[in-house]
Amino acid sequence: MAAQKVAVVTGGNKGIGFGIMKELSAKFDGLVYLTARDEGRGLAAIDELSKLGLSARFHQLDIDNAESITTFADYIKKTHGGLDVLVNNAAIAYKVAATEPFGEQAENTIRVNVFGTLAVCRALFPLLRPHARVSTVSSSAGHLLRINGDEPAASALKQKFSSPTLTEDELCELMNQFVQKAKEGTWKKAGWPNSTYAVSKVGVSALTRIQQRAFDADPRPGILVNCSHPGYVNTDMTSGKGPLTIEEGAVSPSYLALLPPDVKEPRGAYLWYDKQIVDWVNGPTPSAY
Ligand code: NDP
């Protein structure tokens, strides 16, 4: 008998992550884990789902905590022996009015959104089964053209990010360089934009391409890694300003998580909220949110 399929959503307790949970627990042919850094908020979300007639399991997972990640990966390995879907949704964003110094915002945003996501992937990827799907939530801010600081440095950075031979270590090095320049106050001259969030999302978009290349050479067949811009969505992150509902925001990330086993595309791609594939290197990005 084939093993029961297993899906995992990070930051599933609210916002777009909760929207993805609704979609996956209704449509995924297997068990869906709602993970959250806070057990109380996670269990409350499981209750919300059950009121909708949907069922999911809960496990604690803080993507910013190495021990939490290891505990979760060990649990999945021991309980299920493998994993079929990973949705990297959890992320943070400072509000525009935030008063923390730019360098501090850069350090925290890159640590959670890029290094946290990467740590989860490194822990869970060995468990992925053939034809697994990885869906990472990026942003319109994660398009390569958002690297728009001073020239010629910005173009040199874009070339590095889009290189078909970029490695995870080189990507981490670029992220660390940004944090350092942000702390020194010289980020713009070094080519970086004024948004720490944009840099973090360009980072996970670049990571998606690197990860797909690695899976293309992996003995496990058919694993697809993609990322998407969910749209401008009404959540706590946007202080309720986004015009899209969480259900609408969940469309692209859920589509990528539920790609049927026989498809070859999209692979290593960057999608818009309406599921269209956008050229991440050259653009243009569609105009609507
Ligand atoms: P919310 O702030 O509403 O939700 C973020 C989720 O991530 C929460 O569940 C939060 O948990 C969780 N989270 C934050 N840090 C961690 C951590 N260290 N470990 C585990 N979970 C964590 O944001 P959205 O729903 O709006 O955002 C979801 C995704 O969509 C993010 O990747 C975001 O960048 C992206 N996005 C959102 C857009 C929008 O318009 N809303 C636009 C483009 C991209 P907790 O409740 O504990 O804080």
Nearest-atom index, ligand 1, CA of 37: 20
Q: Is pLDDT at 289 greater than 70 in this prediction?
A: no
Q: Does residue 275 have its Cβ closer than 6 Å to ligand 1?
A: no
- Say what the pLDDT of residue 108 is: 98
Q: What is the pTM of this model?
A: 0.98
Contact (Cβ atoms closer than 8 angstroms) between residue 207 and residue 114: yes
Cis check: omega of the bond before 243, within 30 degrees of 0: no
User: Is residue 288 scored above 90 in pLDDT?
Assistant: no
E runs forming strands in the chain: 6-9, 31-36, 57-60, 83-88, 128-137, 224-228, 270-271, 277-278
Which residue among 16, 48, 208 has the greatest number of ligand 1 atoms within 8 angstroms of its CB, and so is best to mutate? Answer: 16
Look up residue 235 and give its two tokens.
Answer: 């959540």
Q: Share the mean pLDDT of the chain.
A: 97
Taking CA atoms only, the protein residue closest to ligand 1 atom 8 is: 11
In the reported structure, the alpha carbon of residue 232 is separated from the centroid of ligand 1 by a whole-number distance in angstroms of: 13
12 contact partners, CB below 8 Å, separation of at least 6: 18, 20, 21, 33, 34, 35, 36, 42, 45, 56, 89
Q: Tell me if 248 CB under 6 Å of ligand 1.
A: no
Beta bridge partners of 128: 83
Determine whether the shortest distance from the Cβ of 40 to ligand 1 is under 6 A: no
What is the residue type of 227?
A: C
242 CB near ligand 1 (under 6 Å): yes
273 is catalytic: no
